Amino acid sequence: MDPDAIAANEKASIQAELAKIKADNCRIGSQNLARLESYARIRIRGDDGETRFLNDEEKAQPTEEARALIRDNFSG
């Protein structure tokens, strides 16, 4: 078989897998962002096992991370 054809097939396969991963990451980021922006109070379990709510400053970082995930993985 032609080595160039094999390489092209492998490249296409890798690109398809990467596109799927990026689409999944974009979907996850969108879901996370929607939750962070929809709920006034986000509850988390701390290291000590106690449940507490994130304040606005604590919500800012995961909100920006979700936006970055969408921005970095959006292919539309």
Q: Is the pLDDT of residue 75 over 80?
A: no
Q: List b or e across 34-64, with b for residues whose CB sees 16 or more CB atoms inside 10 angstroms.
A: eebeeeeebeeeeeeeeeeebeeeebeebbe
The percentage of the chain sitting over the pLDDT mark of 70, rounded to a whole number, equals 99
Domain range annotation of the chain? 3-73
pTM exceeding the 0.75 threshold for the entire prediction: no
Q: What is the pLDDT of residue 18?
A: 95
For residue range 4-29, what is the model confidence (pLDDT) as tens digits? Answer: 999 999 999 999 999 999 999 999 99
Q: Rg for the chain (alpha carbons), in Å?
A: 19
Instruction: Give the whole-angstrom CA distance, residue 45 versus residue 10.
Output: 44
